[in-house]
Chain A
């Protein structure tokens, strides 16, 4: 089976570990081989969290520079920072709602301009899907659903060997019951946002 490589980057607390868990469970449900690895050492202390998910017949659980087929960033400057994982054929999805790192507040660095950021990504990747995922999460009922909005968008690209139905089924069975409806709504909003992009 062909190999598809996905990188998800986020800031601690944005729920990307749950997003990758949902994708892995959906792969299990779909009989798609899946392996992933996460760096979550100091995640709770506001650092960057990166998940690498490899679908298909590969043994490796990490993804080298330039080898991601799909790059999803939960925070715009983190998407840009992770661009070394992409190549000219990569599809990049980014949330456009910034969470400026604290270093900006204490004057150690300037947050990149969002338009410039998108131009840069477009110039280097094959496609950019960019939208305000936080706004959509709020529409779905809670900012915390931002992870499911982005899962919806990345499923829309059709790059992963997963069906909408299997991912939704996983959201139903593997995320907290109280949040299922909100998560499904968030998924749909992200999916249509990616269609429009």
Chain B
């Protein structure tokens, strides 16, 4: 049995934040869950996916976040407890349904989880999604720790049902990817079948209906604010007239700092866990007992702005600071020493900084950037495109996935990326606005996510570029989740459909469509050349299973290669394809037999035919 399905209230477990969140959902009786995977949220859905195979919990991977949220909206309006999770930028994709679902509301409890990523450990921006609460009018909850995250999820479902509105649950990477001891609670029974009661004057959002719905949304916001005033997740601890207002992980750093600075008789903390609507009376009261106040929050001055406005309303003139050149930045994540130092500085407490060793005499250490795996088919495709495009002046918009790493030298395939699906649509713009040859890259999952509409646009507006779809039959980067192109037999699951990318692309009206096998280097180069010469929209589908996934399925029997003494040390292999299985020993190229999977790409480009299968030695 899946460990998170255990019926043993009181049992203590070491859980990753994302496991604790999944467990919280199970304890809340979640019956229906949807997602599009994205770090740092992915393990929540992975655990729910696994549990759905052992229970009557329904789970699905959606094609994108908008779809996932809409699917969830249908279920939640049939009365089921529903959860939809995504990374922070995913909520941008789902923003359209979010804004009007806020008007319509839900009948079953619904939690929308957004995993923000301060410092951008694995994201393209560090936007602060608390603003989505303010924008949509929906309540926002934010835990400070792994244990709290589990309990707060249960509360979020209850709150949602009480207000009949979805609740936004906002985490940051340091919640999702922290681990701590969690005490299991009781699990509520799942209600897996519901019903929808027709009420078009509530559910069909034509202007006349929405005008009424906006009024009720504002009433619900007022009700939510009242709840926030006394909510157990907004609490004060400590005493004194130095006030600290904080949220999320900043709370942990503040608590540790107060202990280490030994100022617990002087400082008190207001921890905000229900952060939209902000509890005005609670905050104003707190401010009244303070001489000065420091707001500690990663990201934007979301609370700070509200706190200052409340102080103004109450005629308070105490110093309230947060984001400030001398104090906290909107950039990146915070850490305990930083928070300790800023608290000491702002309130004038004695402080001895940690002595960081002087590392000025440490020689430069070679960088260790992430790299495409040894034998990754993307490397082979990038090499083939590069060869086929030799002599052309190109622009290569790329997209989001492992293959984004292709922008690194020596492959250097990737010139522009902003968001999921942007490779295709930006190609339309680049090719019209310049005279260069535009070649763009997108993975299979990202193509389904939001590449298709761009391609339809390209066909309709008669653009001129080549789209290379890197189809490795899995959503690789986020940990090998399925997507609509995947054969679900690999997951030992039946009852799924499967969408063929080739048929889809052809049916969209793309006239030049070729499928290549990237491990066949010469053939691939020739086919790609033809596609590049085509005037109009051409699509190359490069098909080869993700090596790492193939290994995990035991579908791949690695047949490692080695560099024989025919090698004349041209190093074309290392310099042009840069597979991490290569290394240098005594200035000679070697292949690590443990990492080599035997894709044979290097063997095909070696001018001396020096790279041979290890067995034939």
Name A's B-contacting residues (CB within 8 A).
11-12, 20-21, 24-25, 28, 33-42, 44-48, 58-67, 77-78, 80-81, 83-84, 86-88, 100-106, 108-112, 116, 120, 124-125
Contact = CB atoms under 8 A, between A and B. Distances in A.
B594 to A, nearest CB: 9
20 contacts: A25-B14, A35-B179, A38-B179, A45-B372, A46-B371, A46-B580, A59-B252, A59-B253, A60-B252, A64-B336, A65-B337, A66-B355, A67-B337, A103-B368, A104-B366, A105-B574, A106-B574, A106-B575, A110-B363, A116-B363
B455 to A, nearest CB: 28
A61 B178 contact: yes
**4 pairs of A and B residues whose beta carbons are closest in the complex:** A109-B366, A64-B337, A59-B252, A41-B122
Given A25-B14, A47-B368, A77-B366, A83 B359 contact: yes
A111 B366 contact: yes
Contacts of B336: 60, 62-64, 67
Nearest to B252: A59
Interface string B154-185: 00000000000000000001100111110000
Nearest to B12: A28
Nearest to B340: A64
B403 to A, nearest CB: 11
Interface in B346-379: 354-359, 361-373
B121 A47 contact: no
Nearest to A33: B181
A92 B11 CA distance: 35
Contacts of A80: 362, 365
A64 B580 contact: no
A24 B354 CA distance: 26
Nearest to B479: A44
Contact of B582 (A11, A25, A105, A125): A105
Given A45-B371, A61-B180, A112-B365, A66 B337 contact: yes
A81 B365 contact: yes
Contacts of B575: 106
Nearest to B122: A41
Given A45-B402, A61-B174, A105-B584, A84 B356 contact: yes
Interface string B319-361: 0000000000000000111100000000000000011111101
Contact of B122 (A42, A84, A116): A42
A78 B362 CA distance: 12
B578 to A, nearest CB: 6
A77 B369 CA distance: 14
Given A65-B337, A83-B362, A24 B368 contact: no
A112 B366 CA distance: 8
Contacts of B410: 106
